Amino acid sequence: MLVEMAIVNTPLSRAQYPESAIVEELDSCLEIKKWWLYNEWDPTCQFSVYVQKAFPNKSDLHPQEGNADISLIESTFNNVRGKYSLWGSEKEEARWEKVTVEDLKLTWIIENVEVLYEVTGGFEVLQLNGLVFWKNPAQRKYQLLEGNHRVSAWIQLQEPESLPSIFFVGESSNHHKN
């Protein structure tokens, strides 16, 4: 059984999270940026060289790190991702949810997520923390903004059947007000 999302009157209102999902509303993008930078630090990720320069100690980025340098997180994210049109002010001002799923199924990803930038070359994927999805009311699937490298590798390998994941889903705050 799946749990329907609370947003109504949009084509995406039928989009569903996995049954075991724990959903939290966020009041800023900071947690998203910390999770993304923390996971992008890994050498298998395409932006790791840039993230590692700013954060030589990965533990400084851990999302539960209470003393994290917020201005360094903001500036590093902006330099690596934020200044490009994929992110932009619409995403900064969006309504965001944090979704935690212990066993996110590959079939759910294939059925519900559009990989915007497929990457070739598979590698073993152990978790999917820090993925960023965008709800576009004109499309049935979520658009994968961040995490394309890991999701592409997982789809190519087709294993394991499920992975733990913490992902973020955003929707334009203008759309949500309607």
CA angle 72, 77, 78 (to 5 degrees): 100
* Average pLDDT over every residue of 134-153: 90
Query: For 80, what's the count of Cα atoms within 13 Å in the CB-facing half-sphere?
Result: 25
Q: How many domains does the chain have?
A: 1
Partners of 168 in the β-ladder: 98, 132
159: containing domain: 3-177
Partners of 4 in the β-ladder: 16
| pTM score | 0.83
Query: Does the pLDDT value for residue 175 go beyond 60?
Result: no
How many other C-beta atoms lie within 10 A of the C-beta of residue 79? 14
Query: Does the pLDDT value for residue 1 go beyond 50?
Result: no
Mind listing the pLDDT tens digit for each residue in 40-66? 888 877 788 889 989 888 888 888 877
Mind listing the pLDDT tens digit for each residue in 84-131? 777 888 888 999 999 999 999 999 999 999 998 887 877 888 999 999
* Average pLDDT over every residue of 10-16: 43
> How does residue 25 score in pLDDT terms, banded at 50, 70 and 90?
very high
